[in-house]
Structure 1
Amino acid sequence: MSKENNGIRAKIQKFGSNLSGMIMPNIGAFIAWGLITAFFIPDGWTPNETMATLVDPMIKYLLPLLIGFTGGRMIYDIRGGVVGATATMGVIVGAEQPMFIGAMIMGPLGGYLIKKIDDLFQAKIRQGFEMLYNNFSAGILAAILAMIAVAGIGPVVSGLTNILADGVAAIISAGLLPLASIIIEPAKALFLNNAINHGILTPLGSEQALETGKSILFLVEANPGPGLGILLAFSIFGKGVSKASAPGAAIIQFLGGIHEIYFPYILMKPTMIIAVIFGGMSGIFTLQLFDAGLHAAASPGSIFPIMALTPGNSYVGVILSIIIATAVSFAIGAFILKTSKDSEEDLAASTKKMEEMKGKKSSVSSSLTGEQENDVLETPVKDKTEVNKIIFACDAGMGSSAMGASLLKNKFKKSDIAIDVTNKAINEIPDDADIIITQKTLTERAKAKRPDAEHISVDNFLNSPRYDELVERLKDES
């Protein structure tokens, strides 16, 4: 692949990462809205007129404002978040429908502009006038952006949103939505799944769910069936490392909702992409057939949140869509594995290929290959009296870092070490973090965020020897 194509792919991945980065930290709010909708709307599980009054304000105001704040904060911390959220209010007022796309525009724009203004003027402010400058510069810019959004950006984004929504509705009406799998399933192997799901499908699905109480779009990408079918096929018909590791990967993918764990298996046998495409198409077709969907986005794509957010009249369709997608993906995958005459590419090589495509080390690498990493312990090293909080940091602050944090918590618990361990997005590392654990390719970003903290670099969050070394070190110092 040429350097030009690599550059284009990197830009697309960065754009997708930014889109999903504004949605994913707020998934809890989306789920809260989905649960309130599921229980209290007139056709919900337990209709309640008073509680149902929460539904419209949450989707029209709360969720877009959270997205706008997050987008601004990604660019310029809290100051950018405040300006971004205020600017987002302009597109909310300037449009009738929920302004998720508008929030994704105005949030980062507000953060970017206040950062540029500070770069120009902040160093020139005389001592004693800093607070005056900070408050009024942010307030004036936010007011101007909000007014511009009301007058111009809101109506434009509203029109674009209507076009997108009408396009999705036309695809659904024409029964062509299953064809989306031809694009979505290969894109998942390129790590564009979060960009597609949380950047496009979640906002459009939320608007659809506001009108109908559910949306099929929440399961177009998040259905765990296609990936589960692939892993089951490798569990039975695979060879060597892939066969041995696939059952554990299937549990993590289906129950934990971390779909990226099956991507190396597809890269190892590229023809398996056919299996997940047809698995995805069959799952979407089943959802259409039963008019099924979810109340809100299920994140992660685990069977547990999917079931929790399924309306009472959609259980049959949702369950069947997962079963059928799994069965179709498994059948085609098994056929490919049984009839393929090519020698199976080593799973470690496939994982390396996945890392190159993603542009960074994958958190699943060694959980699949069982390799020990050449981890690096960075200086300075803090003694136990200085360690009160340990942070696992990754791009989104979910998935792999959460699993790493859970693993270290268990090791600390067994060793009676009372130190706080949690996971965060790389851009949200708190100022009081004493030790920060990241994958090697993210360490420099983490050090730039918190240069005075101790940094531990690992290749794999799930199986690093540095965890035991850290436990022993902190035990010895106790």
Structure 2
Amino acid sequence: MTTSSVAAPDAPAKSRGGARVAVQKFGTFLSGMVMPNIAIFIAWGLITAFFIETGWTPVGVLGGFGETNGVANIGLVSPILTYLIPLAIAFQGGRMIYETRGAVVGSIMAMGVIIGANGTIMILGAMICGPLGAWLIKQIDKIWDGKIKPGFEMLVNNYAAGILGFVLALIGFFWLAPLFKLIAEGLGAAVKFLVDSSLLPLASVIIEPAKVFFLNNAINHGVLDQLGAQQVQESGKSILFLLEANPGPGLGILLAFTFFGVGIARSTAPGAILIQFFGGIHEIYFPYVLQKPVLFIAVILGGATGVATNVAFQSGLVAPASPGSIIAVLTATAKDSYVGVILSVVLSAAVSFAVASFFLLASRKRDLANGGGDMSAAMAKLQANKGRDVNAATSGLLGNNTPRSEEETEAAFGGVGSGTATATRVESVVFACDAGMGSSAMGASVLRNKVKKAGIEGVTVVNKAIANLDGTEDLIITQEELTDRAKQKNPNAQHVSVGNFMNAPQYDQVVDQLKNQ
């Protein structure tokens, strides 16, 4: 299949989106290292919450305080944070670059940095050393690829990896560890300054819009997890774990649409609340903000309110809350922080709701007169940024039931195919999102049920991270902001952009395509 001219974005659109896509890809790579290891963070957080000296049930031999038979207790908290978590992240990062062989060499390099840092948490160093070590062994393997005499492959491969690991461990220990330690201390000092100066709420000016544009992973997993873990080791909790995970701002947006929205946005908002607030899938509210960019003000003020509340009450979490569900947040809340954390969620939701309601009410008459005017305009702007025909690509979303031409149908499905969206048989449908969990799993479940009810056989519907798309997919469904990246991974597939994974009209169009092929 070839991409038709309908879907080819113009040069300015590419230029505008290039930086955003690059940051998204970087954030996705960081997320790909951390997300598979979130269970370790949760286990460590529970151990911390229960067994440290200020925990619910202090146990010295587990929490790492006091002595046993005259010997200081090491406990589980510090070793897991200092060694297990960074090594697991380094291993995963190396595996993403060069499978198990890369994971092993990357872990050796990371271990040099971990030990050389002498107790400083080296999550950031592991994120760099794991992939770097894997990339280096990959380049070395290319030097003698196909040149080794039969029978000597194992000898050469093992010693090449071992010798390189030896060298990289020394480099990590003597040169990189001091550098990463200096960076960690500098970032920690910057955060301390913001907290002491009561300026931390200003972080919401960056974090809240970044979330909506799927740019949060670079900040969240690249910086906040490391600094938050360091703070937990020092004081038993960290406010940094709440900067991005607070479900309050998104809840306020969805409540505002529930009461004062119009059209499809109002009808889908109540269901989205359950998924966002209790399921922790924040991506569900992003399209609502994108429909009215003025609502960025609402999420920023809501987020800043939540951060300010936690600063005032000196509250925090003992581990990352992932996903950002109210259940996960309360589970990870420190023993002395429940009042502050709950208030931060409630007040951030209230402020976000109040500000969003003001803007929705101010434009309500115009929206009703236009049948959702601002929504249409926003969707048109989004599609124009990607060089697509907005009327075709969003006809279902905006309630346009006019039969579409063949060209419009092609545009609606990403502009790929030889004339129509049904030119190539579809057997593999993939929902792709940033991390390959959460929102894409939800969307895949919804479409899978529709396919099953329609009696369609021979079609698989799964969810993946965009980074894991391998070119075998026939049809890929993504949210609008992520479609460009999905096309880069698999330009030959049919691409469907949706605004809302939970209840997109395009699903019925996909089902019709599958029934008619």
Q: TM-score range by the shorter chain?
A: 0.7 to 0.9
Aligned-partner Cα distance in 2 for 1:378–1:128: 49
Q: TM-score, normalised by structure 1?
A: 0.82
Partner of 2:112: 90
Q: Highest relative contact order (Cα 8 Å, sep 6+), 1 or 2?
A: 2
Partner of 1:347: 375
- The answer (yes or no) to whether the contact 1:87–1:142 under 8 Å persists in 2 is yes
Partner of 1:22: 33
Q: Which secondary structure state, in structure 2, belongs to the residue aligned with residue 123 of structure 1?
A: coil
- The answer (yes or no) to whether the contact 2:447–2:461 under 8 Å persists in 1 is yes
- The answer (yes or no) to whether the contact 1:426–1:445 under 8 Å persists in 2 is no
Partner of 1:162: 185
Question: By how many angstroms is 1:134 displaced?
Answer: 2.3
- The answer (yes or no) to whether the contact 1:88–1:106 under 8 Å persists in 2 is yes
Aligned-partner Cα distance in 2 for 1:101–1:283: 26
What percentage of aligned pairs have identical amino acids? 51
Aligned-partner Cα distance in 1 for 2:172–2:106: 12
Pick one of 31, 34, 43 that aligns with 1:32: 43
User: Structure 1 pair 264/458, CA: closer, same or farther in 2 (3 Å)?
Assistant: closer
Q: Does 1:137 align with 2:171?
A: no
Q: Does 1:300 align with 2:323?
A: yes
User: Structure 1 pair 404/260, CA: closer, same or farther in 2 (3 Å)?
Assistant: closer
Large movers: runs of 4+ above 6 Å: 355-360, 365-373, 375-382, 408-415, 419-422, 434-437, 442-448, 466-473
Pick one of 79, 82, 85 that aligns with 1:63: 85
Aligned-partner Cα distance in 2 for 1:217–1:7: 29
Question: By how many angstroms is 1:11 displaced?
Answer: 2.5
Aligned-partner Cα distance in 2 for 1:234–1:40: 43
Aligned-partner Cα distance in 2 for 1:341–1:369: 17
Partner of 1:400: 439
Aligned-partner Cα distance in 2 for 1:28–1:19: 16
Residue by residue over 1:278-327, the C-alpha shift from the partner in whole angstroms, topping out at 9 and shown as x without a partner, is: 11111111111111111111111111101111122111111110000011
Q: TM-score, normalised by structure 2?
A: 0.77
Aligned-partner Cα distance in 2 for 1:422–1:273: 32
Residue by residue over 1:197-237, the C-alpha shift from the partner in whole angstroms, topping out at 9 and shown as x without a partner, is: 22211111111111111110111111111111111112212
Partner of 2:241: 218
Q: Which secondary structure state, in structure 1, belongs to the residue aligned with residue 214 of structure 2?
A: coil
- The answer (yes or no) to whether the contact 2:283–2:439 under 8 Å persists in 1 is no
Give the 5 Å matches for 1:111-126.
111-126=134-149
RMSD of aligned C-alpha atoms?
3.8
- Aligned residue type for 1:67: I
User: Structure 1 pair 12/45, CA: closer, same or farther in 2 (3 Å)?
Assistant: same
User: Structure 1 pair 127/12, CA: closer, same or farther in 2 (3 Å)?
Assistant: same
Aligned-partner Cα distance in 2 for 1:214–1:184: 20
Q: Does 1:258 align with 2:297?
A: no
- Aligned residue type for 2:112: G
Partner of 1:182: 205
Question: By how many angstroms is 1:445 displaced?
Answer: 7.6
Give the 5 Å matches for 1:419-458.
423-425=463-465, 438-439=476-477
- Aligned residue type for 1:347: M
- The answer (yes or no) to whether the contact 2:292–2:375 under 8 Å persists in 1 is no
- Aligned residue type for 2:375: L
Partner of 2:100: 78
Aligned-partner Cα distance in 2 for 1:303–1:217: 16
Question: By how many angstroms is 1:182 displaced?
Answer: 1.6
Residue by residue over 1:128-168, the C-alpha shift from the partner in whole angstroms, topping out at 9 and shown as x without a partner, is: 32222322222222221111000100111001100000110
Task: Choose 1 or 2 for highest CA Rg.
Answer: 2
- The answer (yes or no) to whether the contact 2:437–2:465 under 8 Å persists in 1 is yes
Report how many residues are paired: 456
Question: By how many angstroms is 1:14 displaced?
Answer: 2.3
Partner of 1:241: 264
- The answer (yes or no) to whether the contact 1:264–1:354 under 8 Å persists in 2 is no
Question: By how many angstroms is 1:116 displaced?
Answer: 1.4
